[in-house]
Every structure is written in C-alpha cells, then in structure tokens.
Chains A and B, each alone.
Chain A
Amino acid sequence: KAGVTQTPRYLIKTRGQQVTLSCSPISGHRSVSWYQQTPGQGLQFLFEYFSETQRNKGNFPGRFSGRQFSNSRSEMNVSTLELGDSALYLCASSPLSAYNQGAYEQYFGPGTRLTVT
C-alpha cells in the first residue's frame, strides 16, 4: 500500500498571503488529522476530519481551516499568513476516528515545510 502523501513538500510564502496544503491518506483510511510542528511549540494538533466531517479541532485561530473530500483526501488552508506560521505541517491518516474505541493508529506523511517571509 502506498503511504500518506503530502504536496507540496516545500513552500515559501510572503506574510499576508494564503496557502493550501494537500494530503492523500493511505487507501481505505477515512480519518485525516493535521499537525503543526515547530521547534518552540513541538507537535500541535490542528484538526481531524473523518468522512468529510471535522470531528475535532485544536487551539488554533480561524485562519487555519481544512476540508476533506469524498475520496478522503484532505486540504488545509491558512489565510493571512504570519511569520509564526512557518513550520512543518504533518498529515496523518488512520482507518478509524479518534472518537472510536480502539488503538487509533496514525500513519504520518513526510510533511510540508512552509516558510513565511
């Protein structure tokens, strides 16, 4: 099975712009979660989508949004970029939602490195 893929791998944007990142989960996985990884804050949960519905959201401003399509592919969007949004954005897929009982095994993509100048 192919793993989780994320595009693009690297991105440079200017403050004030908006950006869209894409994630294709492992075939058959219906849950996609997004995380932001920075040296200062570590790994922080952004949101989880399951069957096209946002199931959970982390403590991020409304500039961060996402969606999931019927084929489980997901996109996240960041509007009005700030310097502090520079980070590695990781997507993870799982067969089940975190709301299900069970182990909730997440499989991560390689990430998109976003640099805001």
Chain B
Amino acid sequence: GEDVEQSLFLSVREGDSSVINCTYTDSSSTYLYWYKQEPGAGLQLLTYIFSNMDMKQDQRLTVLLNKKDKHLSLRIADTQTGDSAIYFCAEKGGGNKLTFGTGTQLKVEL
C-alpha cells in the first residue's frame, strides 16, 4: 500500500521543540521528504533524507528515520511563530512519484 499517515494537529509554545511524526508503508521508498505549507501558498521543501541514513540535521531541523518501523520524524528546535504551518511528509516509493501524508497542522503559541 501507499498510505502515509500523520497526526492532524500539534500545538507547542514558542521556544520549545516540536516533533512531527509520520509513518509510511512502502518499504521500497528511497527518499523521504518534509514539506511546509503556509496559508494560501504552495509547498516548500524543507529537507529530505535518503533511506540508508537514520538521521539528518539541517540548522534547526532534525530528521530521524526508523526504516524497520517505517517511521519518520521532524524535530524543529526553538520553534517560532513563523513555524506555524501545515507540515507534510512524503515518500518516493516504488511508483516513481511522491506520495504525501495527510499533513500535520503546527500551531505555535506565545
């Protein structure tokens, strides 16, 4: 199957860390991605990880991949109000296309 699942909503306080989780089902996925969508805008590519890696850090973003459990997470350190958005994970699987998750709405409160 090609289902990619995420929790719908996450609320954090400014300055805290946010962790957004994603599970996928395609074991042949080669790359996994995180995108951000702000209101009225398209998707912005944040980062991606190759399937033979288990961690990737890019400034405030840390991606963790557990290939055995098909679990991907995105940690945002020192979350700011500008990080409020919908976050999508996506996999490049056997179908030679990206399959996107359901999206997690992140709300950052002061």
Which residues does A use to contact B, with CB under 8 Å? 4, 33, 35, 42-43, 45, 48, 55-56, 58, 90, 92, 97-99, 103-111
Contact = CB atoms under 8 A, between A and B. Distances in A.
A42 B98 contact: no
B93 to A, nearest CB: 10
Nearest to A107: B45
Interface string B44-75: 11001010000000000000000000000000
B8 to A, nearest CB: 11
Contacts of B44: 108
B25 interface: no
Contacts of A35: 100
A98 B50 contact: no
Interface in B58-110: 88, 92, 95-103
B98 A106 contact: yes
Given A45-B98, A111-B41, 16 more contacts: A4-B42, A33-B97, A42-B101, A48-B97, A56-B96, A90-B43, A92-B42, A92-B43, A97-B96, A98-B96, A103-B48, A104-B31, A104-B98, A105-B48, A109-B42, A110-B42
Contacts of B101: 42
B99 A103 contact: no
Nearest to B88: A43
A98 B92 contact: yes
A35 B44 CA distance: 14
Given A42-B102, A105-B48, A99 B96 contact: yes
B68 to A, nearest CB: 22
Contact of A108 (B43, B48, B50, B92): B43
Contacts of B100: 35, 42-43
A113 to B, nearest CB: 9
Contacts of A48: 97
Chain A CB within 10 Å — which of B40, B42, B88 has the most?
Answer: B42
